[in-house]
Amino acid sequence: MTWPPLPFPAWQDTCDTLHMWTQIVGKTRLKLSPYWNHWWQSTLYVSARGLTTSTIPYDGKVFEIEFDFLQDRLTISVSDGQQQSIGLYPRSVADFYRDYLSALKAAGIDVSISTMPQEVPNPIPFEQDQTHASYDRGAVERFWRTLINLDCLFKQHRSNFIGKSSPVHFFWGSFDLALTRFSGRISPPREGADIVTREAYSHEVISCGFWPGGSTFPYAALYAYAAPAPAGFDAVQVSPPAAFYSREMGEYFLKYDDVRSAPSPEQAVLDFCRTTYEQAATLAHWDRAALEHQTRKTTA
């Protein structure tokens, strides 16, 4: 695997713009797809060309929306043979949103979504957003190729777990790639949680994922957490040595640059996912013998 550089400050404007574009597409899937537990019907997935919704049911047909980062196009493909696309280039969110709705209509799809972005500070309605208008195609491709690497490794990590587990999927709200394992036990209700958070953490979970960076931590990093976090989880030893615990965030992090500089980046990712899971599952008294495939290994 090739691990390209991904310094967040260098592509922050593009990252913020792409975040809004994925929210527009993700909200379309959310509006039209049957509900799945933990809001899994709303996510995107890494594809061979970029990010995809997978198939969405509509009026006796299905359609799929894909960000094609090789051709810098957003493509809408319908099972009746219709196909529409719009370009990905430096353009405002408002401009993208207008052309996106026109492409959907031309493909025979009529949908109305909430235009207020989620999980971002100072949200601007899509139709009014002239602020986010950057598209550095090189940075986007590096981000996508990083997601390809991590999608493969997270799936490898997932392979030895036989309990309930999420797919490896991309959350457009928080703009991260994630994998979540479940103990099978119900979690205590979270006081003051909104409807999304309440459902997302209705059961005990241990998650790992990748985030390209943001205002709180301006660097790309892998993360791992348990919810609820068992006592002592903040002080355990995890691998590789560069991983650390953030008390502010309540999660373990491994900076992407430390992954890239590791003797084996692939092994560093797998070790981080494995050791954070093992420590959290042991401390939380998960039934690991019942939840894990005892002969399958997840080494690079």
Q: For 96-126, what is each residue's pLDDT tens digit?
A: 999 999 999 999 999 999 999 999 999 999 9
175-190 tens-digit pLDDT: 999 999 999 999 888 7
The structure tokens listed for 222 are 């892998």
- SS3 of 86, please? strand
Q: Are 151 and 269 in contact (CB under 8 A)?
A: no
Residue 152 — φ and ψ, nearest 5°?
Answer: -65, -45
Question: For residues 185 and 235, what is the distance between their CA atoms, to the nearest angstrom?
Answer: 24
Q: Are 163 and 290 in contact (CB under 8 A)?
A: yes
Q: Which residue has the higher pLDDT, 106 or 295?
A: 106
Closest CA to 178 of 27, 14, 42: 42
On the question of pLDDT at 268 being above 70, the answer is yes
- SS3 of 139, please? helix
Q: Read off the pLDDT band of 296 (50, 70, 90).
A: low
Write out the H or E segment, with its range, that includes residue 147.
helix 137-158
pLDDT of residue 298: 53
Stated pTM of the model: 0.95
Average pLDDT for 77-81: 98
Q: Are 1 and 259 in contact (CB under 8 A)?
A: no
> What residues contact residue 26 under an 8 Å CB cut-off, 6+ apart?
42, 43, 44, 53, 172, 173
Write the CA distances from 162 to 23, 175, 291, integer angstroms: 31, 27, 5
Eight-class DSSP state of 278: H
185-232 tens-digit pLDDT: 998 887 776 777 777 778 899 999 999 999 888 999 999 999 999 999
- How do the residues of the chain divide into helix, strand and coil, expressed in percent and rounded to 5? 35, 25, 40
Question: For residues 224 and 277, what is the distance between their CA atoms, to the nearest angstrom?
Answer: 8
